[in-house]
Structure 1
Amino acid sequence: MDRIDSGTRVIAAPPETVYKALLDREALETWLPPEGMRGRIEQWDPRPGGGFRMILTYLDASAAPGKSSDATDVVEVGFADLDPPERVVQSAVFESEDPAFAGTMTMTWDLAVAGDGTEVTVTATDVPSGIGQADHEAGIASSLANLASFAETR
């Protein structure tokens, strides 16, 4: 599991606004699920050592079976490091009986000033082998587009 998946997008909002969207429960439910999914957070503890449990549901499960059930991906996310307003590091563990989805993936969200906006770079390390790289990077790009739409209207 030494593969690295990533994505970058410039968002027309200041780093403080983007950072806040990374640590707001309702905001995450809105923008984090990639296209074709919706999300619900069950537990929430936004501090280093805390985290959240998110249930991602496929709108059309026939096109992409879930990791946790036919229609869902359930993920336990821990906040490994919070460095406002520059970085959020998350550890993510999928609930799955399939060993191809086992292990802890690290998601690092780096924020840097880019003119009047923020360049957001997402880097995923230790990606489980069952997650296809092209699909994962498309999902990251979709979440970044959702984040842009969310943050740019604040």
Structure 2
Amino acid sequence: MARTDRAERTIAAPREDVYRALVERDALEAWLPPEGMSGRIERWDPRPGGGFRMVLTYLDPAGSPGKSSDATDVVDVELADLVPPERVVQRAVFEAEDPAFAGVMTMTWQLAAADAVTGTRAGTGTTVTVTAADVPPGIHQDVHEEGIASSLANLAAYVEQRAG
């Protein structure tokens, strides 16, 4: 049965700044890998229908076997829909021999204005809601939601540092 995972975070930065971090190569490499991983983009085509290929490497592969190799998760991402500054929809396919990781997972990054963000001027906050639909069964829900939350924390730190 198809599963949907979600996470949300309010970021103290305008939607335009958050959106830009979702569609720029250097930004994605900096914030998208969750805690315990690094990332490198091998292919980049930032337009609807284009996408990117990212190699995520575990900093300590001993406790976290990768999907693509002992130390890596490789994912091909199609940019299915780009609606500045409101939404980015990605279709992600993991490179893995294990059929438990097969299939297309759709990640929707929805950006909404958040006027009441502590420590910011009115109208400069953004609530980011991430919805991952059709999550492959090999990806454990608690680990996946923790990873999304970690990426959102990285996104917040990345964007807020540049906005501040």
CA distance in 2, matches of 1:103, 1:48: 20
Q: Could you tell me which of 120, 125, 137 is aligned with 2:128?
A: 120
Distance in 1 separating the partners of 2:89 and 2:29 = 18
Distance in 2 (CA, whole Å) between partners of 1:133 and 1:4 is 9
Q: Which residue of structure 1 lines up, in the alignment, with residue 142 of structure 2?
A: 134
- Hey, what does 2:111 align to over in structure 1? 111
For residues 43 and 69 of structure 2, the distance between their equivalents in structure 1, rounded to whole angstroms, comes to 19
Equivalences for residues 50-61 of structure 1 within 5 A: 50-61=50-61
- Residue aligned with 1:60, SS: coil
* TM-score for the superposition, normalised by structure 2: 0.93
- Cα deviation, 1:16-71, whole Å, max 9, x if unaligned, reads 00000000100000000000000000000010000000000000101110000000
Question: For the residues of structure 1 that align with 2:136 and 2:70, how far apart are their CA atoms?
Answer: 18
Structure 1 CA distance for aligned equivalents of residues 56 and 135 of structure 2: 18
What's the offset of the Cα at 1:153?
Answer: 1.3
Give the secondary structure class of the aligned counterpart of 1:152: helix
Equivalents in 1 of 2:32, 2:40: separation in Å?
10
Match of 2:161 in 1: 153
Computing the radius of gyration over CA atoms, which structure comes out larger, 1 or 2? 2
Amino acid in the other structure paired with 2:147: G
Match of 1:15, as an amino acid?
A: R
1:81 to partner: Cα distance: 0.3
Consecutive unaligned residues of structure 2, counting only runs of 5 or more, are 116-123
Amino acid of the residue matched to residue 40 of structure 1? Answer: R
Deviations 1:71-111 (A, max 9, x none): 00000000000000000000000000000000000000000
- The alignment yields a C-alpha RMSD, in angstroms, of 0.5
What is the Cα deviation at residue 2 of structure 1? 1.3
- Paired residue type of 2:26: E
**TM-score (ref. length: structure 1):** 0.99
Task: Verify: 1:88 aligned to 2:96, yes or no.
Answer: no
Identity %: 73
* Alpha-carbon distance in 2 for matches of 1:6, 1:59: 25
Structure 1 distance, partners of 2:2, 2:99, is: 16
- Other-structure match for 1:79: 79
**Offset at 1:149?**
0.2
Is 1:47 aligned to 2:47, yes or no? yes
Secondary structure at 2:66's aligned position in 1?
Answer: coil
